[in-house]
Amino acid sequence: MRQPNSEIPIHVLSMNDLRYLIFWLGSIWDVFDYLKRRASIRSIFSGINQEQPALAFYTLRAKDFAGFASEDKVRLRELHQLHTLENLGNYEERERLAGWVNAVIHELHTRHSDMESFMPPELKQYHEPKDARRGYLQMAAMLNRLPMSNKANIGRQVDAMVKNLRGSGKCGCIAHRRLHEECVFVFACFSQLSRTERIRSLKKLVEAALYRYETGESLGVAYDADDDNSGFDLLFWRGAPLVTADTVRLADAVFGPPETQIANPFGEARPYSPRNATARGQL
């Protein structure tokens, strides 16, 4: 079967191939990035159900396809099968950790029936009406475009926070911003705090993150560390925050200097050191 000619890349995949990509790559962003790079080798494929060697080369080598044409496809299949057997537990754990983010995306399709009852009065002016869906859908899209490695890394940190904070009466927070992107994500966990106070505290953390990361867009997610069934709260803020001395102190105490890290496919992060960094360490 020949691949169709088109100025816009068209990929011909079997359902098995597509399910295989989604399972191993894990997120919409990762699948789209794979297909974008796969366009350079489309002519190599003579039919369907030939995706395993390409995916093996992509995931086990360098996340590109340079040199793929000359590789031993049988050997690549063997390597990927070995990788699968050795890391099946890691992939299952990755799914569980990413669930901290994916659950929020899924629940954004519905809405609490009585949200006004716990919304802080000073924030009700920003509250989206019941018949509006634009804000909800935008928040879901922003979270869903995160790569799987990012989702798992966020989930790894949220999972640890929830376990450490349960019943403590304390709170914890992390910020996550992708390189060269505007939005900073804020994930906070609270113990022994009412839902109204969680939302109020989340707004302060979002403002501190906007100040610290010098950006004008933030999406905050607040979890209840004591009750897994109480849901979560979200706050999407666009625009410069009103910076006060308290904002600066909170940013210093919670976020500190921003640190650039890179996560492996299982969400395990390490400091990022670009090969072409300047003497000043700028990206």
pLDDT of residue 117: 64
Contact call for residues 243 and 211 (beta carbons, < 8 A): yes
Q: Number of H helices and number of E strands within the chain? A: 8, 6
Question: Which H or E element spans position 185?
Answer: strand 184-190
Residue 230 and residue 184 in contact, taking contact as beta carbons nearer than 8 Å: no
Using DSSP, state whether 237 is helix, strand or coil.
strand
Global pTM reads 0.81
Kindly list the averaged pLDDT for each block of 10 residues, start to end, along the chain of length 283.
Answer: 65 84 88 89 78 87 80 86 90 95 84 64 64 74 92 96 96 93 95 93 96 94 91 88 94 91 90 55 31
pLDDT at 279: 34
Dist. CA 99–CA 118, nearest whole Å: 26
* Nearest of 107, 109, 100, 221 to residue 156 by alpha carbon: 100
